């Protein structure tokens, strides 16, 4: 099976602590093709750590998105930059892994979905905590199960 050649926009905390550990566990399915970060030296440091040649490191994602050898792009930028980066990925014809929220505003999120509706690319919103153990150990106490007035309908998490 052909590996997915993944590019990354934003090599900060979310990439290093959340997405990279997941991708590295799936290394038989993915290979890192390119990294982009507005502070190029940070991306170069990460590239050196994973053995990626520095010719595959960018500080301008528009230049990186021109490459023909990228199958998908993982976008991990500050919220206010999500829309522009994700829209650029879709417009470049690359499959997208987007962080939440999709944009800094509801209008931006709707516009991004509209842009995607006109494109054949795949689009996934990352949800890192869906399968965390603590999300599955929340139990409703017995006395609350028997009393409909106490039945919870929303649970807020500190994460």
Mean pLDDT within 133-157:
57
Of the CA atoms within 13 Å of residue 49, those in its CB half-sphere come to 11
pLDDT in tens, 75-133: 999 999 999 999 999 999 999 999 888 898 999 999 999 999 999 999 998 875 656 66
What's the distance, Cα to Cα, between the start and end of the chain in Å? 36
| Backbone φ and ψ of 70, nearest 5° | -105, 125
Question: 100: which 2 tokens?
Answer: 């939440």
CATH 3.40.50.2020 fits 4-131, yes or no: no
Domain boundaries, the chain: 4-131
- Compute the distance between CA of residue 156 and CA of residue 16 in angstroms, rounded to an integer: 26
Contact in structure between 102 and 109 (CB atoms under 8 Å): yes
Task: Summarize pLDDT for 42-54 with one digit per residue, the tens.
Answer: 999 999 999 999 9
Is the pTM higher than 0.95? The answer reads no
- Please report which confidence band the pLDDT of residue 18 belongs to, taking 50, 70 and 90 as the band edges: confident
């Amino acid at each position: 099976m052909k590996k997915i050649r993944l590019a990354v926009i934003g090599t900060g905390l979310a990439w290093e602590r959340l997405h990279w550990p997941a991708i590295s566990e799936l290394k038989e399915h993915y290979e890192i093709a390119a990294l982009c970060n507005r502070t190029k030296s940070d991306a170069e440091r990460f590239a050196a750590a994973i053995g990626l040649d520095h010719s595959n490191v960018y500080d301008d994602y528009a230049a990186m998105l021109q490459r023909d050898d990228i199958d998908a792009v993982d976008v991990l930028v500050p919220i206010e930059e999500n829309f522009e980066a994700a829209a650029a990925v879709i417009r470049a014809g690359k499959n997208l892994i987007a962080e939440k929220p999709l944009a800094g505003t509801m209008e931006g999120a709707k516009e991004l979905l509209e842009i995607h509706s006109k494109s054949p690319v795949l689009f996934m919103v990352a949800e890192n905590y869906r399968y965390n153990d603590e999300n599955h150990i929340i139990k409703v106490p017995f006395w609350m199960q028997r009393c409909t007035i106490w039945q919870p309908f929303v649970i807020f998490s500190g994460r």
